[in-house]
A and B are shown apart, each in its own frame.
Chain A
Amino acid sequence: MTDAAPTPGGYAAITGEIVDIALDYPDRRAWWACFGLALLLLLSFFVSVTVLFWYGVGVWGNNIPVAWGLAISNYIWFLGIGHAGTLISAMLLLLEQHWRNSLNRFAEAMTLFAVVCAGLYPLVHLGRPWLFYWIAPYPNTMTVWPQFKSPLTWDFFAVLTYLTVSILFWYIGIVPDVASARDRARKRRTQVFFGLAALGWRGSAHHWARWRQAYRLTAAIAVPLVVSVHSEVSLLFAAGPIPGWTSTVFPPYFVLGAAFSGFAVVSMIAIVLRHALGLQNLVTPRHLDLLAKLLLATGLMTAYGYWAEVFDTLYAGEHQEMGTLLDRLGGVYAWSYWGAVVANFVPLQLLWFRRVRVQPLLLFLISLSVTVGMWFERYMLLVTTLYRDYLVSSWREYHPSFWDWSLFAGMLGVFLTLFLLFVRFLPIISSFEVKEALFEEKGKKEQAHG
């Protein structure tokens, strides 16, 4: 079992390879090009939000009956993407799958930034966003609490908890590497920056013992959140008594779909970083193979969710539910249903072959297809349900407006900006964990030989 290919220079070389990216970024021109694009998108975010706050939610394409639109479907999509990071870092940590060490840091960063994007959406989508804090239970002169039956109240808690735990987990995990960066930094500014961020980490045995406790404990908290957060999010739909939403299959369906889309994005990021920063020895074909297998597995589970949903409807045979199903298959928004089915599951089948799994370009394209497919799915679930609900008299199509799309582009900008800053200034792979795994590996081998 080789998680990372042995590096000629030994452990120090691994540290150098990872930490030096942060201290002295290799390909600045490419980074600036990407960052420039990200800033443009970020500008789109600020312009879109300004327009939105100035004029009101009316600048979007929403209407009655489709009172929710792109904002909510994107919220679910972003949050879903985040889940893979937690699964890879926390779950695999607890399961002692060492190969995760090459992936967990940037996967966690991806989680964090995806949750930030996801969390922004419901806030800006409010009719009166300046009053968003009314959803929180806080002591107030109105003596009004949130309404605890509402899935939105729990959404608020879920996203906030998830964000907090994700930040903690990611930060705890990065502290030893930040300390390495501090020690290797030569410029005064970087020294101060990493010095403060390292929280006085000296690598003493005490530190390591405490660190290990804290890290594993946070991981233990984070893992159930993966299930609970997206189950909660699915209740946003499932709690509404609307044909197409009110289904008990939604919580597992959403969690699996979330992991599926997340693994796709992790694969894409892994492939890009590996290529851009020359990390082929740390993120090896074996990692790609494992990611692809996870993608295939969660994809098949998601496909089961699709099938179960259709089966449920057919089995119950309710007039309204059947109408929604048929409309999804053949109505105005059939493109989103079939788009989801095709993009999610058709290219995915190539992953049955190992040759495809370890081929970065193919894996990237398949992952991209899944990411797009899962976006279709979120959109389809929201729009096809609302635009034709019970009373035919209120049926009306929904078309996102320019400002819907510009905000989506802007939100991608938020994600990219944060992620590029992370890539540029922080250790993107957990060097000490890679080294630890390598050491243990070597020890095992020596034991085996001796």
Chain B
Amino acid sequence: MDMDREARTPPHIDRRSLLRAMAASLALASAAGRRARADERALPYVNAPEFVVPGKPKWYATAVGFSGCAQPVLGKTYVGRPVKLEGNADHPLTGGATDVFMQAALLGLYDPARSQAPQLLGQAATWAAFDAAVAGRRLTLEARQGEGLRLLTGAVSSPTLLRQISDLLRRWPKARWHVSEPLSDANRQQAAQTVFGRRLDQLLRLDEANVVVSLDDDFLGAGPRQAPYAHRWSKRRLAWQQGQGASQLHVAESSLTTTGSMADHRLTVSPSRIGLLVAAIAQELGVGPAPAAPLAPTERTWTKQVMEALRASHGSSVVTVGAAHAPDVHAVALLINERLGAHGNTLTFIDPITSVPAPDDENSVAALAGDMNAGRVSTLVMLEVNPAYATPAGLAFRQALEKVEFTLHAGLYVDETARLSHWHVPLQHDLESWTDACSVDGTVCLTQPLIRPFYDVRSLHAVLDRWAGDTRSDHDLVRATWRHAWGSDFDDRWRDSLVRGFVADSAPTPVLPTIANRNVSIKAPTAGALMIDIRPDPTIWDGRFANNAWLQETPKPISKVTWGNVVVVSPRLAAERRISRGDELRLEANGRSITGAAWIAPGQDDKTLTVTLGYGADRTGPLPHGLGYDAFALCNDAGSWVLDGARLGTTGKHLVVASTQLHQEMDGFDFVRRVDRADRPVKKHPEAASFYPERKWDSPSWGMSVDLDLCIGCNACMVACMAENNVPVVGKELVEQGRQMHWLRVDHYFEGDANEPSSSFQPVPCMHCEQAPCEMGCPVNATVHSHDGLNLQVYNRCVGTRTCASYCPYKVRRFNWFENTGDDPEQLRAMRNPDVTVRSRGVMEKCTYCVQRISAARIASQIAGHPIRDGDVVTACQQACPTQAIVFGDVTDRASAVSRRKASPRDYSLLEEANTRPRTTYLARVRADRRPS
């Protein structure tokens, strides 16, 4: 197999050496990587492949998929083993920004729980048998022009996959393609259909928007657009901090989200009122009739302030509505945005990159379920979807599956659907296959494998190609797509795109649609007593990441709950119903019910219970099960995520919730400080005298600055840190006991009124204190200070007295209570970063400021004969951060980025009163907290 994947050079290598590196990667391709079947002969290299230096990483640009969209990444590989994914800084959309899903995709590749061989009726089978079964099936289908064949996929943006599907449908016109993507932009696309007469994708230009009004739209929260949106928003925020323009965020939402945390002005409101607020804004702007019901006083005040802000910033403001809201609300929002001058400025439109049909469409999953029940489906091919779990309970998809003669599930895991299908075939992970897909702005990303598949798996393209009666490889299929598109230019563009990770200038030009229909109005809300608001889970989405232990152990940004989902209730409702944290609640709506643990959180609407998808899965074997509840079980049909007329009760049971932060009220402390304007000094405690003599620091001496005004609490840093530093996952029970191993945590605090709290995030890595109490406490010199200002932890010297952790005022140290790594399966061992020691039982560990990267930069600079330059060392958390909240560098160099940050009047140290002189400092948030004004 020729693997002409293209290595990527570190950013500071010029283009000429790049060509040499490309040649090298061609040579490497046939030598490195692991084979699908173990070759019993072990032979050393006779001629070592050129340019392959064990211990020297190679970078490849590729992408991982999420909801049909591509997320561009750079993969770091050591001798053919990918060990870390980072953002692709050259990508026009993300600029190197990442999110938790992108970071955690690496573990998805190595996951030992992945499906490793085909199965027929739950018994191990072979690919040959599968091929024979498909061939047999094809004969019948061929005769009937594909009648009875249904394809079910998730959202698809891959040009190759789209080409394959359309070829198949052309060949068999009676076959049909259905799409099941529970959480999509379908409502927005439908609104565009209503208003513009064509389906369009909306893209917020948050970098251009001085005023953003979000109506229940968590655009900074998890999702395929999180990284680009956070990146864009932070650009505007940074410019504003430096005095250019404004950066105002008004949010109305029912449950506190990441976006709500960053809001300057937030309103807690029932989801049923969002339509009214949109209508009220539309009326004020003269683009719609009066709202169907009067606004409450708090809503009026909020709307008034929003209107003032919007009027003052024509052309640089935008109103956005949450994807779960009905198309008519989105349609009115489009009219509002047109009036605000947003279209083409702060809101751009492109032709949809993925298309998810509305529930009443004949290509919807609902239509499929109907056809299955009606016996119109004889062959169902489900590609990388899990409809037996991730479809509304109202569709009764599981029962419908039984009525189909031949069902095939192709996926990474033996999930619910796999177990209910006749055939299950294992797929390749994105990081081990050739494919293509679009990022949310439409830029085409080519995905090249970082490693050869190490299980007996096939790519999605190859599986589909069998149905077309062909046996082409994924590589050939993807190349064929682009050979056709590019013609004679193909070779150059192919190579160039592989090196970049995306096809240059492939983003479609935004369209400026004209309004065809202004006659839209919003239906009056149904005034139910209690509502259930169903949302995607911030770390496992709709359950598709449930097998990823990194994501399971990543705390949800607001609740800090891991390994499960909770039912969020407001403090007032909890007090009324005598509910306390962890009580098992029984939720009923639509005649269906679920039970889940109560979580009481400020900023929650009193009449709304917020639940998240993705848990409660009916799984067995190595996959996590028995966690949380399944919110799909409440849904009647697709697309309705707000359920009215809910009933709430308690079962009397108490459930243990594994949260990493049990106390979130700031209690009057000043851990997160605020200033009114970016140039105002933050309040500091006077520096106390030190018993020890002041030390003089040589250059370089490392330090970090975290801008709390930019931190959106997305946890990308945290997952990046886990990947970079081989941080072990400990599981639900140990998190419950307070034994999680995260080197970097993101604290979340509430302040003020329980209904309208101000909320903020604070990433806490090791502070690398100049006067570190831990160093004083350790009896065996296992934690010491380095010449370049690092607080080092010497694992092999540590005897585990835990004095350092007891003395640490920041509690950033993590102890290996058990052997966390020794029994790791082979796959996880292969994933480890070889530059970072794997810690064994009984030793303390903590953030090292990515000392391995510092060492690498030092070695490189010594070879090159110059001092380490600013920016040569980028910590994993810093690289991952989509908002550039984290800056790292030499604090003795006054020109360095980190020194410039620390010179800001907003710079302060956490717990100055402990007199530890931390090297990690924070920039205060710029915003009025919600004091009564």
Contacts and interface: CB of A to CB of B under 8 A. Distances in A.
The yes or no verdict on A and B being binding partners is yes
Interface of A: 55-58, 61-68, 122, 125-129, 131-132, 134-135, 144-147, 149-153, 155-156, 236, 239-242, 318-320, 323, 386, 389-396
A150 B776 contact: yes
Contact of A391 (B773, B781, B843, B911): B911
B818 A56 contact: yes
Nearest to A236: B803
A392 B842 contact: no
A392 B811 contact: no
Contacts of B662: 395-396
Contacts of A122: 801
B214 to A, nearest CB: 27
B707 to A, nearest CB: 19
Given A147-B778, A390-B914, A393-B663, A57 B817 contact: yes
B913 interface: yes
A236 B778 CA distance: 11
Contacts of B843: 127-128
Contacts of A146: 779-781
B778 A390 contact: no
Contacts of B776: 149-150, 239
Contact of A127 (B661, B665, B802, B914): B802
Given A56-B842, A65-B811, A128-B798, A392 B777 contact: no
Contacts of B737: 61, 63
B711 to A, nearest CB: 14
Interface stretch (B74-82, B331-339, B666-674): B666-674
5 contacts: A64-B738, A68-B802, A127-B842, A236-B803, A318-B913
Most chain A beta-carbon contacts within 10 A, residue among B734, B764, B842? B842
| Contact residues on B (Cβ < 8 Å of other chain), bracket | 35 or more
Given A62-B802, A393-B747, 6 more contacts: A57-B815, A58-B818, A61-B737, A65-B805, A241-B809, A323-B667
A329 B915 CA distance: 27
A343 B2 CA distance: 80
- The dominant DSSP class at the A interface is loop
B739 A242 contact: no
Contact of A390 (B734, B801, B809, B844): B809
Contact of B747 (A57, A135, A242, A391): A391
Interface of B: 661-669, 671, 734, 737-739, 745, 747-749, 762, 764, 773, 775-781, 797-803, 805-807, 809-811, 813-819, 841-844, 910-911, 913-916
A273 B806 CA distance: 41
Nearest to A60: B817
Contacts of B778: 147, 150, 152
B839 to A, nearest CB: 10
- The dominant DSSP class at the B interface is loop
A87 to B, nearest CB: 28
A134 B782 CA distance: 10
B661 A393 contact: yes
Contact of B807 (A63, A126, A242): A242
Contacts of A392: 663-667, 669, 671, 749
Contacts of B734: 58
A126 B817 CA distance: 10
Contacts of A241: 773, 807, 809, 914-916
Nearest to B814: A64
Most chain B beta-carbon contacts within 10 A, residue among A56, A61, A146, A323? A56
A98 B669 CA distance: 58
A327 B769 CA distance: 28
A146 B806 CA distance: 19
Contacts of B777: 150-152, 239-240
Contacts of B739: 58, 63-64
A186 to B, nearest CB: 51
B811 A391 contact: yes
A326 B893 CA distance: 45
Contacts of A57: 800, 815, 817, 842
Contacts of B805: 64-65, 67
Contacts of B664: 392-393
Given A64-B814, A393-B661, A393-B764, A147 B780 contact: yes
A156 B779 CA distance: 9
Contacts of A64: 738-739, 805, 811, 813-815
A378 to B, nearest CB: 15
Contact of B781 (A63, A144, A319, A323): A144
B774 to A, nearest CB: 10
Given A240-B806, A393-B663, A393-B764, A131 B799 contact: yes
A65 to B, nearest CB: 5
A125 to B, nearest CB: 8
Nearest to A57: B817
Most chain A beta-carbon contacts within 10 A, residue among B661, B745, B748, B910? B661
A56 B799 contact: no
A127 B797 contact: no
Contacts of A63: 737-739
A132 B798 CA distance: 10
A134 B797 contact: yes
Nearest to A68: B806
A62 B811 CA distance: 14
A393 B780 CA distance: 29
A144 B747 CA distance: 37
Given A56-B819, A146-B781, A147-B778, A391 B809 contact: yes
A239 B842 CA distance: 23
B558 to A, nearest CB: 13
Given A152-B779, A386-B806, A393-B661, A126 B773 contact: no
